[in-house]
Structure 1
Amino acid sequence: MPDSRATLWAMTHAERAALAADLARLDDEQWQQPSLCGAWTVEDVVTHLTAGASTGRLRWLVSVVGARFDFDKHNERRKAEHRGATPAETLDKFTAILDSTTAPSGDTAAWLGEVVVHGQDIRRPLGLTTTPSLEATTAVATFFAERDFTVPSRTLIEGLRLEATDGPFTHGTGALVRGTTIALTMAMASRVAYCADLTGPGLTTLRERIEGAR
């Protein structure tokens, strides 16, 4: 994984810009389509990304304390704050933070992971074919494999061997799970839909863990 925060931020900015380009082609109905992120619509996911890139450590802490550590309430309040009156306004707000380096913590790879994962949460249901860069996805896969952060990624793959078919990412020992780097990354982010893109004797275990954690 790149050890330079500047490199990770540059990749984050590039992935945000790629997502903004995809979003600019959507009609209003597509903005209200379900995403892969629970009950959130496409517009909900975009407002969440805008909120994350607009909220520093202190403001995040104040928001979480104000929500009495109810993270769902915290997220809903911040989404409402950054939603536009129309999808076009919501996109304008997202476009305004494309080059932001503001984040709730210094875990830069996690914030790259936010746009990589949530970008695919939007694209896959809509049939959009844009894929994050292999370099960015490999950095996120490595981060996810090494620790639980916003998702229980490390726990999900404990005792499994992950191997990417399109890049250098490998991790762990045990029953093998193979697939593209983005499919492995999304599975580690608990997106069970991406299990359809994976193979190997460890896949059943991984799928059961994802479904059990939902």
Structure 2
Amino acid sequence: MAHTTDHVKALIAAERRELAAVLHALRPEQWEAPSLCTGWRVREVAAHMSTGFRHPTRKVLWELVKSAGRVNAMADRLARADATALTPGELADAMADNAHHPWKPPVGGYENALGHDVVHGLDITTALGLDRRIPEERLRVLLAGVTRTSARFFGAPLHGIRLQADDLDWTFGTGTPVTGNAQDLLLAAFGRKLPPGRLSGPGGGRFVRVPGVG
């Protein structure tokens, strides 16, 4: 099913408003807890999610120059600095106040902007054990965009693996089966290691986060 730009932008706005509500409800200790993003607490993930709203493009480009063109190094430095400079309330407000902000990644358009919000939101809620369910309409936009190329970009170990959702009609790849709900499989396709017990099947262990590691 094709999605118009306006439709995807509406999905992004809804996701950001819902994420803002989640962030506003977090307890202080949850802001300091680790996320699924290796080395980042919830604070750093929330700061990273709103980088494009709070910093003009020229600043981001300058920071990229300072990082010798290393995007991940630049993103890490900005996230850590902003996580320290801003309060949890300010980080949550940045999502709510920018629900309709036109930011999108350099490639991939608004579908990738939706993916950025959904996946990083799950980096927070999944790590904290919060039962937030992403609406199927949003998931289907993102699942339709999963490819071998995108999986390699995020370092997802999908070679010889078949991802199979047990809550909607979606599969990807061929080989050893990994079964779980669609949003957990989306995280796996984005290179995330999940808490134990969320995925099943002979290949599920490939995507499990070992406690105390990473």
Structure 1 and Structure 2 fold alike (TM over 0.5): yes
Equivalent residue, structure 2, for 1:141: 143
Q: Cα distance 1:29–1:164, how it changes in 2: closer, same or farther (>3 A)? A: same
Counterpart secondary structure, 1:176: strand
Equivalent residue, structure 2, for 1:109: 111
Letter in 1 for 2:5: R
Q: Cα distance 1:160–1:85, how it changes in 2: closer, same or farther (>3 A)? A: closer
Moved more, 49-58 or 92-101: 49-58
Ranges in structure 1 where 5+ consecutive residues have no aligned partner = none
8 A Cα contact 2:163 2:173, kept in partner:
yes
Moved more, 53-62 or 86-95: 53-62
8 A Cα contact 2:17 2:95, kept in partner:
no
**Deviation of the 1:145 alpha carbon:** 3.2
**Residue deviations 1:73-115, cap 9 Å, x none?**
3113432357654211222223222221212324122221111
Paired with 2:57 and 2:87, the residues of 1 have a C-alpha distance of 29
Q: Cα distance 1:82–1:35, how it changes in 2: closer, same or farther (>3 A)? A: closer
8 A Cα contact 1:165 1:180, kept in partner:
yes
Equivalent residue, structure 2, for 1:152: 155
Ranges in structure 2 where 5+ consecutive residues have no aligned partner = none
**Residue deviations 1:138-181, cap 9 Å, x none?**
2222323353275134xx22332222111122222222222110
**Residue deviations 1:10-51, cap 9 Å, x none?**
222211111111111123222122211111111111110000
Report the count of equivalent residues. Answer: 208
Paired with 2:182 and 2:117, the residues of 1 have a C-alpha distance of 15
Over the residues paired in the alignment, what is the CA RMSD in angstroms?
Answer: 2.8
**Deviation of the 1:65 alpha carbon:** 2.2
Paired with 1:4 and 1:88, the residues of 2 have a C-alpha distance of 33
Paired with 2:84 and 2:7, the residues of 1 have a C-alpha distance of 29
Give aligned-pair identity as a percent.
Answer: 29
The reply on whether 1:40 has 2:40 as its aligned counterpart is yes
Give the structure with the larger helix fraction.
1
The reply on whether 1:187 has 2:197 as its aligned counterpart is no
Letter in 1 for 2:182: T
8 A Cα contact 1:60 1:104, kept in partner:
no
The reply on whether 1:161 has 2:162 as its aligned counterpart is yes
Equivalent residue, structure 1, for 2:14: 14
Paired with 1:100 and 1:173, the residues of 2 have a C-alpha distance of 38
8 A Cα contact 1:83 1:90, kept in partner:
no
Paired with 1:99 and 1:179, the residues of 2 have a C-alpha distance of 32
Paired with 1:195 and 1:27, the residues of 2 have a C-alpha distance of 24
Residues 43-192 of structure 1 correspond to what in structure 2 (within 5 A)?
43-54=43-54, 60-79=60-79, 80-81=81-82, 84-107=85-108, 108-148=110-150, 151-153=154-156, 156-192=157-193
